[in-house]
Amino acid sequence: MEKFPVSEPDIGACEEGYLADAAASGWVSSLGPYISRFEKEFAFSSGVDHACTVTNGTSALFVALRALGVGPDDEVIVPALTFAAVPSVVMSLGASPVLVDVDENTWCLDPISTKRALSQTTKAIVAVHSYGHPVDLDPILAMAGDHGISLVEDCAEAQGAKYKGKTVGSLGHAGAFSFYGNKIMTTGEGGMVTTRDGELADRVRLLRDHAMDANRRYYHAEVGYNLRLTNLQAALGCAQLSRIEELLSKRSQVLGWYREELSHLGDVDLNPCSPWAEPVNWMVCLLLKGKRADRRDGIIAELAERGIDTRPFFVALEELPPYSSARRVGRFGSALPIAARLSRTGLNLPSSPILSRSDVSYICGVLRSVL
């Protein structure tokens, strides 16, 4: 029986060449030419002036929020349906996440609920571009501007996506990216902070390297961290970034095949696509509706028996113990119905850029029979 994992990285001769070069140079730790090269090329591809490598996507969010001054007694708005790293970073800074419902058309932060969630202590908004689809940012940018609130875009699932023609990660005060093995591109583990603000980039560079004074060795004016990426990882990053158009177009082709195969099926939706959005395909998403809506976990089990790996959507944050007492804001009071419904009825299908047309046909054939 064939086996299809949800996600496999696309690593080949190009990556091997860059890695071998970095290894042979002896620069294997966090100094070396690939780091600044990766930062320059990534900044260019994201449409910003500054990009700072860090150890992973979680630390990118953490250091961006820390550099923007988030701390105890602050509230930070996060979507009610996303990966737990988002609220966990807020709490590790001593601040309180506020869970805001998502929009049923984007699966991202709902601007109307976000506006309702603003308070005297709102310090920042983390706009997560979820499952490859951009947040409807204009209203949220306007709120942030009016109230002096920082906006961090979490681009971990949406590298390369565009909002009204602009690349995600270039619109807010900072963007946070992840290069984990299942993301759009990978460095094994890795992350990046993007920003148009040179002072913010300097703060991130200071904090990621123990906050050691650039002009006075072993002088640390504040608490810092070690969040440095290695030259080896940056070499892998340069190789993957040189292939980014190919990686993105293979991914979108895979989603296109799924759309062809599944378009006539009733009671299911695939990834959303708003008229103003150019999403990327991070994961192929299947949303079960109508009479199929209750069958998600059974379908996952039956597909697994037949060699097809899937993932349920994220568990709604309000159901996770560390965040269950967080303040919640939806369109009507504190209920978060859209996050709850998506979380219970969505699953991710095999999404690797290395899948072929016939792989997708096979997977969809099995899926149709299970449904």
Ligand X SMILES: *Cc1c(COP(=O)(O)O)cnc(C)c1O
Q: Applying CB under 6 A, which residues contact ligand X?
A: 56-58, 82-83, 85-86, 128, 154, 156-157, 178, 180, 191
Pick between residue 57 and residue 237 the one whose CB is nearest to ligand X: 57
**CB burial of residue 327 (10 Å; 0-12, 13-18, 19+):** middle
Residue whose CB is less far from ligand X, 111 or 191: 191
Q: Which is nearer to ligand X, 232 or 366 (CB)?
A: 232
Q: Which residue is nearest to ligand X (CB)?
A: 57
Nearest approach, Cβ of 269 to ligand X (angstroms)? Answer: 20
Q: How far is the CB of 263 from ligand X (least distance, A)?
A: 27
Q: Pairing between strand 96-100 and 75-79?
A: parallel
Alpha-carbon distance of 232 to 213, in angstroms, equals: 26
**350 torsion bin: left (phi>0), alpha (psi -120 to 50), beta (else):** beta
- Cβ at position 128, least distance to ligand X in Å: 5
Min separation Cβ 114 and ligand X, Å: 17
Directed axis angle between helix 57-67 and helix 85-92, to 10°? 40
What minimum distance in Å lies between the beta carbon of 81 and ligand X? 10
| Residue with smaller CB distance to ligand X, 284 or 367 | 284
Nearer to ligand X, 185 or 355 (CB): 185
CA separation, residue 8 to residues 210, 283, 329 (Å): 34, 11, 36
Q: How far is the CB of 1 from ligand X (least distance, A)?
A: 30
Q: 327-329 and 96-100 as β-strands: parallel, antiparallel, unpaired? A: parallel
Shorter beta-carbon distance to ligand X: residue 100 or 364: 100
**Total number of residues shown for the chain:** 371
Our CA angle for 173, 176, 178, nearest 5°, is 170
